[in-house]
Amino acid sequence: MFKKVKDVISYIKENDVEFVDFKMTDLKGRWKHLSIPAKRFNESIMTDGIGFDGSNYGYANVENSDMVFIPDITTAVIDPFVKEKTLTMIGDVMVIKKPENVPFDQYPRNVAKAAIEYLQSTGIADEMIIGPEYEFHVFDSVRRKISADEVSYKLNSLESYWSNDLENNNGFHNQFSNGYHADTPNDVNYGLRNEICKNMEKFGIDVKYHHHEVGGSGQLEIETELGEMRKLADDTLAAKYVIRNTAAMNGKSATLMPKPIYGEAGNGMHIHMLLKKKGKNVFYEEGTYGDLSQTAMYFIGGILKHIKAICAFSNPSTNSYKRLLPGFEAPVVVGYAMANRSAVIRIPSYVKTEDKKRFELRNPDATCNPYFTCSAILMAGLDGVINKIDPEDHNWGPFDFNLFELSEEEKSKLDALPTTVEEALRELEKDHDFLLQGNVFSESLINTWIKAVRKDAEKVNKIPHPAEIDLYYDL
């Protein structure tokens, strides 16, 4: 939108903007923000920045936590969710040094930038192009309680057959796991999705399409067009912000957590990807398996080699592994295939054109930090290309059959994804040298991430589970 600070200042004056809002990303991938009166926005902010305490973002120790936020004016948009006219923008974080500040190597956008620079240094490609799919649930009410006398949560979706809302019940309901492409009046959130998509476009997000997903109780999907990796990571945080706020303004609650409903399909964030060099797709080669080049196959090999460690970033919640179960179109086997949704890597058969030939990684979910996840995927893929890791040499496919229908004996011969976040963290501890290449990730960041994610898991493991009452109460 803007290229020069003076253009921002002129826009503020000409459009009666009252506040300028700055959004920063914490370690886990949540937006935080602070705002200033619009009249205080000036040239010095681009050099002096906004000082803040990095220890509250999960990055730094209290004794060394002074950091500076530098806005990226090219990301500035009017926030449609704020009553007072507000120009909001994201940016980058610097560490205070003399004679000049330096980029903070643990800040997510800085890591993604370093990953792209490493990609370019290899000569393999100039840019990574990705396309995330956002799956989420919209509920009409959500209640939860964790206390000494009660551990519970209760959801309500008007379109679900188990809806307990008698006053607003219109008689049209979706059966369990039977909501894929449901039409109105069963698709009660159709209008809400339209509104979400319009708000996404205000944030510069190009929507490809949207629809009802498999889950019969308010599970929805919005897919965006392909774009440059760091831009799409920016867009992912913006998309989550838009989804939640649009739902809230309509009296509903939206969540992108992987498995909010027991027994139904969970929410993934599948990531489509390809590499380009001088504008040409280096993943395309006509006449091969899936029309994918040898470079693409090596890239797949690198991802599959390191996929268990990648899961510590792409699936970093205890809830993530309640989604990665057989029978719910979620992958569990390490492998690739054409048009096969039971494999962790799927090559879409409907993509025919050279410029968009790609594959998708199906295990990630939206509890991830998209900057770290996409950077880890890129680094793993590049390791595969550099070291010529062919997936066929490791029994990683192609698997042109339903992996969910294999016998236990057949499954035991295949490599599987982690089944808990603790297992994924142990894999990352063992396998992270590929992330350190080009100083993209640091040992400090990896250790900080492991410590933070493990702390969450330990907290969850200490809380009695309602299912334990059924299993053990009478023993």
How far apart (Å, rounded) are the C-alpha atoms in residues 137 and 362? 18
270 catalytically annotated? yes
Q: Please tell me which residue in 127, 221, 235, 365 is annotated as part of the active site.
A: 221
Looking at 230, 244, 270, 358, which residue is catalytic? 270
Residue with tokens 């929507």: 207
Local structure of 416: helix, strand or coil: strand
Omega of the bond leading into 258 within 30 degrees of 0 (cis) = no
Q: Say if residues 446 and 433 touch (Cβ distance below 8 Å).
A: no
Cβ count near 62 (within 10 Å) = 9
Q: Which of 360, 365, 383, 427 is catalytic?
A: 360
* Options 159, 213, 285, 383, the catalytic residue: 213
Of the candidates 269, 197, 260, 267, the one whose C-alpha atom is nearest the C-alpha of residue 233 is 269
Catalytic residue among 26, 30, 126, 341: 341
What torsion, rounded to 10 degrees, do the Cα atoms 123, 127, 128, 134 define?
170
Side chain identity at residue 180, one-letter code: Y
| Chain position carrying tokens 């990683």 | 396
Q: How many other C-beta atoms can be found within 10 angstroms of the C-beta atom of residue 404?
A: 17
Q: Catalytic: which of 21, 79, 127, 133?
A: 133
Q: How far is CA 245 from CA 14, 117, 255, in A?
A: 27, 34, 11
Could you say which of 230, 306, 362, 432 is catalytic?
Answer: 362
Edge-to-edge strand order for the sheet containing 77-78? Answer: 31-37, 19-25, 86-89, 77-78
Active-site pick, 127, 135, 187, 383: 135
DSSP 389: -
Active-site residue (options: 43, 53, 354, 405): 53
Alpha helix (H) ranges present in 210-319? 229-249, 294-314
What span, in angstroms and rounded, lies between the C-alpha atoms of 303 and 323? Answer: 20
Instruction: Give CA–CA dist 66/38, Å, rounded.
Output: 24
Sign of CA dihedral 156, 158, 164, 165: positive
53 is catalytic: yes
133 among known catalytic residues: yes
**357 close to 291: Cβ distance less than 8 angstroms:** yes
Contact (CB, 8 A) for 25 and 237: yes
62: tokens are: 């209290």
Non-local (6+) Cβ contacts of 365 within 8 A are 256, 258, 266, 267, 268, 269, 314, 315, 317, 320, 323
Structure tokens at 124: 């393999």
d(CA 103, CA 445) in angstroms, rounded, equals 14
CA 448 to chain CA centroid, Å, is 19
Q: What is the DSSP letter of 49?
A: -
Residue 244, token pair as written in the block: 């939640």
* Entry field: residues in the chain: 475
Write the CB contacts of 178 (distance below 8 Å, at least 6 apart in sequence).
214, 216
Residues annotated catalytic, as ranges: 53, 133, 135, 213, 221, 270, 341, 360, 362
